[in-house]
Structure 1
């Protein structure tokens, strides 16, 4: 059903080419989804015996997958020689924009917990609204994908996304020894809205919130990898951004890796976003089988 809605959104986008306010609608739907998902998951979150330990595991997962993906990708690309041109510095306003988004998501998350504690919204109402928002988000994701031109793809464009998938899978399998939900929580490749939506619908909102937190933290660590290693190992640094390499991090990739890598990053993120729903679907069924 999830893939059908995404495909429907893709077909709608190809036919009508909507672009006015589409990003604002998507962001609003995402914010509302996070809020109502948190309200519904609040009983499970508050019931955790040791929330600090859970958060520590999520941080380890996010940092670990970024570090391993960077190292693994660097094995397949030569180190870039230092250029004579001066290194472009990222604009402070761009960092502020990204950090503002993450701060807003954190505030929405805390607001959901507070709403539950104050008994302002019934859990069943939150669940019903959450389910509606899931379909809206999936539909808009299909619309976003439709706006991308994939006609110019060549065989070498598949190298980086394949490496990203392999690195993510290898690390997730290793982490299964420590945490059996690791494959599920890492399945979104940084695509917080999609992973949270699908996991919440198929499993439970608690795991959805954890996947959301992992993807958010993963994105924040990706910023550090782009800043520190983008000029020396551009492809490896890009690989840490996951699906966000085709949208949210394009400007940072241009500034820290070089303009010549923007198109490669866009294609890698686009291909990864096409594979992402299937990867999450597989991870969900795998997690269901190992947790029974």
Structure 2
């Protein structure tokens, strides 16, 4: 038995897992399902830790998972849920709200006809420019069903917001939850385990306590406004760069995000 000091990461692990555990409880995920997912993740992480490949026995030694389970997990072909509808909606909104050819004279997203009209591109052109591998009619119906756009009496379509916010508890929200948290965790984990000579990802936050409810609300409103401006700026620039990088063989990826967590003070008994 080790008598040395406990790894601080082991101490922090329970706190790190509490938000995820809350989501699991809310979604009815049991410990058996969670354990299976954790085993799969540990096996994947062990495999990715070596460029030369690892035997089942070595993976077992690194993770503590029984060798028979390692062999089973490595042979399983997991079905990954489709993320197309979520990605399509986000891409369409991003292009529609930032691309110059889809803006009105006052720099707001203009109402689009289905096809190009009077020299101006239509919704079908938007789907093509956003490089969405789905039929324009399917994308259109998805956006209508999710109430992200509205159909007007003259046959055109109006964008109802400049951001894709999935319906609470929907498959699209689960996909967004997965994509956002996995990217943030990947950046933070890289910073945690990277060597001294390895560049770190930008991952910083501002934390304050001992604030009144009014102060928390003021900070929430300010940070929400500034974060939205930041994301819109990055979105517009990323779209321009993607249009410039027309080669379909380009594989570079980029993620930038923000989060805000306001916690109101508890009422004090008088």
Higher relative contact order (CA 8 A, sep 6+): 1
Higher alpha-carbon Rg: 2
Fold shared, TM-score > 0.5 on shorter chain? no
TM-score of the two chains, using structure 2 as the length reference: 0.29
